[in-house]
Chain A
Amino acid sequence: MTTQPAAGASRLKEQGMSVTLPTQEKIVFSQVDKLFASPSKTGDQVRALVGLDLTVHKSEIVSIVGPTGCGKSTALNMVAGFDAPTNGSLRLDGKAIVKPGPDRAVVFQQAALFPWMNVLENITFGIKSRGVAKEQYMASAEKLIRAVGLNGFEKHFPYQISGGMQQRVQIARALISNPEVLLMDEPFGALDYQTRILMQQLLLELWREFKPTILFITHDVTEAIYISDRVIVMGARPGRVKLEVAVEEPKPRSLDFLTSELFTGLEHQILETVQHEATASHAAH
């Protein structure tokens, strides 16, 4: 007996896939290698990434965790356009990435605000120099400044505000161009525990409003699970994906999620792999 309706439905689904479903592919690494010239003249090349396969879908939040030196920043820098893959293909919306651009905003770990510009100037620098009308970018800036809780600090210079506030400025600066992709390399790594949680919640709130695709690098497994739809664990030498877990908890997430069974189960699973990889990478040294 043939199951006509079911086959029809699956065909419909196949056709509709690429256009309508929210699982549109945004960033696709396929078989990406990244080799760096050896720091010493005689040594071998550094194999930072070998055969990396990773897909990030539109509006998805994906975190990468893994031991130090496993190539997390290398992967993110290639998406940003700072570096090109040695082999393989890396595509954004199906097109090869050639150079950095405001469609992919980057939040750096630290020291990436311009110290000679105040908070408002830092936030509006990019959008302003791209020729957007003043009323327009000022309106967006005001909205974002309120959203990240920086009102009253517009005229402060980066050295006059705390580390947490500096990261808020970076986030506002990144979001003002309404980027489709947000790349964050250990953005909260230097913050204390309390501030970190506030920033994670802020990030989820902002995600709800702007729905960017987020690639997030962290050393903190708790942070990764709390904010992500998917957590990728990378292994070192050479860097590649070791474990991939989906976090099936709707966003926004309350703090209760941190103590739920789902959470602790995932945490256990991820930590085990991370630990194993860290030991392996240590042994390789």
Chain B
Amino acid sequence: MVVTNVVKQQAPVGVDAETSKPFPSVAISLISLGAIMAVWFVVTNTGILGPKQLPTPQALVSRFLELIKDGYQGSSLMGHITTSLTRTLSGFVIGSVVGIVVGLVAGYNRVISAALSPIMSFIRPIPPIAFIPMAVLYFGLGETGKVILIAVTSFNYTVVNAQSGAAGVPIAYRRAAATLGVSKTQEFFKVIVPAALPSIFTGLKTALALSWAVVVAAELVGAQKGLGFLINQAALFFDIPTVFIGIILIGIIGLLLNLALSLLEKKLVHWRGRG
């Protein structure tokens, strides 16, 4: 037929245009990063800033190699990382699963929504860190308290987005489902849930970033292991390079966690913005 040519799958905005520009964004970012490193190197090696304020890059690298070899306070560096990650991910998974399920149901069902919304709108503005003393009080300094704290944090942020996603499904989709004679259950799983996915992912990203922040905060209080414990402990002993290494690791891991979620999102919500 004449007018049935397929619309070419568009490259994401920017990708095509990037390669043809004289200065691609990646190059600019690398130059900026290099400049920061150079300034750092100069400032610390010429004595403008002393090692008490800012360690030299070389000092950081050698301390890092040491930490890898010897560990820190009875645990390997990898041990500290996996401890923090395990706490975060277990709390995040529990909290998000419950949050998404409750949010979707509440977004779909008016009664549940009305019942939940006063509680939710009260809890939402409370910073998750404010719950740390309460978690310690109820569950002690052990793993349970930390995991529950992170689960609660994740729940708070996923439930809101899942609910708004399910409640905001375009009327056209719901009408189409109704005229197709689809059952309520089918409508929920095949229409409401996928339509809410973009919003769910927005919630998941916030929840994961906050969970990672909260685990570090929780580890500052009564923990024997983990990255939060590591930087807190190192600061007490004026071990500045270790503090910096801890912070850099926290940053990099946070970035990687977000990247992993973004990749999953791209795969599951490939149609995002093209509906």
Q: Which residues of A contact B (CB under 8 A)?
A: 80-82, 99-102, 104-106, 108, 111-116, 125-127, 129-130, 149, 153, 156-162, 164-165, 173, 177, 192, 194-195, 198
User: Which chain A residues border B274 with CB–CB below 8 Å?
Assistant: 115, 157-159
User: Which chain B residues border A164 with CB–CB below 8 Å?
Assistant: 3-4
Given that A159-B275, A194-B3 are contacting pairs, would A114 and B194 also be in contact in the complex, using a CB cutoff of 8 Å? Answer: yes
**CB atoms of B2 and A129 under 8 A apart:** no
User: Which chain A residues border B186 with CB–CB below 8 Å?
Assistant: 129
- Extra contacts besides A100-B178, A116-B195 (4): CB < 8 Å: A102-B179, A108-B172, A126-B182, A129-B186
**CB atoms of B4 and A165 under 8 A apart:** yes
Chain B interface secondary structure, helix, strand, loop or mixed? loop
Given that A114-B173, A159-B274 are contacting pairs, would A198 and B3 also be in contact in the complex, using a CB cutoff of 8 Å? Answer: yes
Distance of A199 Cα from B195 Cα, bound (Å): 29
Closest Cβ of chain A to B6, distance in Å, is 6
Give 12 pairs: A residue, B residue, CB < 8 Å, sorted on A: A80-B179, A81-B179, A104-B179, A106-B176, A112-B175, A112-B176, A114-B176, A114-B191, A125-B180, A129-B180, A157-B270, A160-B6
Q: Of A81, A130, A158, A162, which is within 8 A of B178 by CB?
A: A81
**CB atoms of A115 and B275 under 8 A apart:** yes
Distance of A177 Cα from B181 Cα, bound (Å): 10
Distance of A177 Cα from B179 Cα, bound (Å): 10
**Residues of B186-239 whose CB lies within 8 A of A:** 186, 190-191, 194-195, 197
Closest Cβ of chain A to B210, distance in Å, is 28
Q: Which residues of B contact A (CB under 8 A)?
A: 1-7, 9, 170, 172-173, 175-176, 178-183, 186, 190-191, 194-195, 197, 269-271, 274-275
Given that A115-B275, A160-B7 are contacting pairs, would A108 and B176 also be in contact in the complex, using a CB cutoff of 8 Å? Answer: yes
Closest Cβ of chain A to B191, distance in Å, is 7
Q: Of A82, A156, A177, which is within 8 A of B175 by CB?
A: A82
With both beta carbons as reference points, the residue of chain B lying nearest to A113 in the complex is identified as B176
**CB atoms of B3 and A195 under 8 A apart:** yes
Which 3 pairs, one residue from A and one from B, show the smallest C-beta to C-beta distance? A126-B180, A159-B274, A102-B181
Given that A108-B176, A116-B271, A125-B180 are contacting pairs, would A161 and B6 also be in contact in the complex, using a CB cutoff of 8 Å? Answer: yes
**CB atoms of B275 and A111 under 8 A apart:** yes
User: Which chain A residues border B176 with CB–CB below 8 Å?
Assistant: 106, 108, 112-114
**CB atoms of B194 and A116 under 8 A apart:** yes
User: Which chain A residues border B271 with CB–CB below 8 Å?
Assistant: 115-116, 157-159
With both beta carbons as reference points, the residue of chain A lying nearest to B173 in the complex is identified as A114
User: Which chain B residues border A161 with CB–CB below 8 Å?
Assistant: 6-7
User: Which chain B residues border A129 with CB–CB below 8 Å?
Assistant: 180-183, 186, 190
**CB atoms of A102 and B172 under 8 A apart:** no
In the complex, which of the residues B3, B4, B172 has the most CB atoms of chain A within 10 Å of its own CB atom?
B3
Distance of A160 Cα from B275 Cα, bound (Å): 10
Distance of A106 Cα from B181 Cα, bound (Å): 12
With both beta carbons as reference points, the residue of chain B lying nearest to A102 in the complex is identified as B181
Distance of A232 Cα from B182 Cα, bound (Å): 32
User: Which chain A residues border B183 with CB–CB below 8 Å?
Assistant: 129
With both beta carbons as reference points, the residue of chain B lying nearest to A82 in the complex is identified as B175
**CB atoms of A162 and B181 under 8 A apart:** no
Distance of A209 Cα from B185 Cα, bound (Å): 34
Distance of A160 Cα from B6 Cα, bound (Å): 7
Q: Of B172, B178, B191, B275, which is within 8 A of A99 by CB?
A: B178
Given that A100-B179, A161-B7, A192-B3 are contacting pairs, would A112 and B275 also be in contact in the complex, using a CB cutoff of 8 Å? Answer: no
Given that A101-B181, A115-B275 are contacting pairs, would A106 and B175 also be in contact in the complex, using a CB cutoff of 8 Å? Answer: yes
Closest Cβ of chain A to B206, distance in Å, is 23
User: Which chain B residues border A165 with CB–CB below 8 Å?
Assistant: 4, 6
Distance of A149 Cα from B271 Cα, bound (Å): 24
User: Which chain B residues border A158 with CB–CB below 8 Å?
Assistant: 271, 274-275
Distance of A127 Cα from B180 Cα, bound (Å): 7
With both beta carbons as reference points, the residue of chain B lying nearest to A194 in the complex is identified as B3
User: Which chain A residues border B2 with CB–CB below 8 Å?
Assistant: 194, 198
Closest Cβ of chain B to A39, distance in Å, is 17
Given that A106-B175, A159-B274 are contacting pairs, would A153 and B6 also be in contact in the complex, using a CB cutoff of 8 Å? Answer: yes
**CB atoms of B181 and A160 under 8 A apart:** no
Distance of A159 Cα from B186 Cα, bound (Å): 23
Given that A116-B271, A157-B271 are contacting pairs, would A173 and B180 also be in contact in the complex, using a CB cutoff of 8 Å? Answer: yes
